[in-house]
Amino acid sequence: MFLACQTAVVWPKLRAMNPVLVVVPTYNEKDNIRNIAAAIFLACPQADILFVDDNSPDGTGSIADAMAAGDSRVNVMHRPGKQGLGRAYIAGFEWALGRSYRFVFEMDADFSHNPAELPNFLKAAEDSDLVLGSRYVNGIRIINWPLKRLILSKWASLYVKAITGMPFTDPTSGFKCFSRKVLEAINLAGIVSSGYSFQVEMTYTAWKLGFKIKEIPIVFEDRHSGTSKMSASIIREAVWLIMKLPLRPVRRLRLNSQPPVRP
């Protein structure tokens, strides 16, 4: 597993057994999508990618299709319209669970998450069930973000910590690696977030189920091309959802998934 990014280079016939999937939700990412795929494969040639595109008006979905036609590692899921990042990820996770992937990544398409860090996640996943990329462990590592986004993000981290009791420094981060057993254990149909509260909802559920969660440092950089989809309604959804999270019972979906080890 530790060599998950390298084995296909050594032994191409293992492609059918590829253990790593990077799920990348896209909405109007035409200027990023080719480059992000190239950077993912550079860091992790053996990974598969699933682009989950919500019928982007800028034609991102068609570019993804053209890439998929030329590279069997690229997969594309088309959804009829913009339904939010959370819904895109849930659809991607269900797709992944229908296949044999052992590690499933969440990653943005806009280079805010550096694909070169994928191997670091896989290394951390050797002894943890969910690996969170944190911008705030041992300081702040964010490049070019407007001050108001940084304040919002830091405030959100404190808010989540106060309400849920989770000990993580960056609970809203969207660069993470799930071991398959975590996704199998979570009732994905019960995850309700459309927007960015999805990140908190997933991590909270895994944490309540007792899975071993590890934070590793990442550098986050503001997007170079395209525009953010952050909105006031996404912030409103997050405030309410997080407030209600501790009231929600969390149950393990599949009884046969491996018993977790609490840190």
Ligand X SMILES: Nc1nc2c(ncn2[C@@H]2O[C@H](COP(=O)(O)OP(=O)(O)O)[C@@H](O)[C@H]2O)c(=O)[nH]1
- Residue 92 touching ligand X (CB under 6 A): no
Pairing of strands 48-53, 20-26: parallel
| Long-range CB contacts (within 8 A, 24+) of 33-36 | 33/60, 33/63, 33/64, 33/67, 33/109, 34/63, 34/67, 35/111, 36/109, 36/110, 36/111, 36/115
Strand partners, 130: 178, 213
Residue closer to ligand X by CB (options 20, 23) is 23
Strand partners, 143: 221
Binder of Mg ion out of 110, 129, 201, 215 (CB under 5 A): 110
Find the part of the chain contacting ligand X (CB under 6 A) among 41-49, 79-87, 205-213, 244-252: 79-87
DSSP state of 81: S
Q: Which residues, numbered 103-132, are part of the site for ligand X (CB under 6 A)?
A: 108-110, 112
State the number of binding residues for ligand X (CB under 6 A).
20
Binder of ligand X out of 123, 141, 154, 229 (CB under 6 A): 229
Q: Residue 144: left if φ>0, alpha if ψ -120 to 50, beta else—which one?
A: left
Quote the tokens at residue 76.
């594309």
Binder of ligand X out of 212, 223, 248, 252 (CB under 6 A): 223
Residue closer to Mg ion by CB (options 54, 108) is 108
Binding site for ligand X (CB under 6 A): 25-27, 29, 52-54, 82-85, 88, 108-110, 112, 223, 228-230
Contact set with Mg ion (CB under 5 A): 108, 110, 112, 223
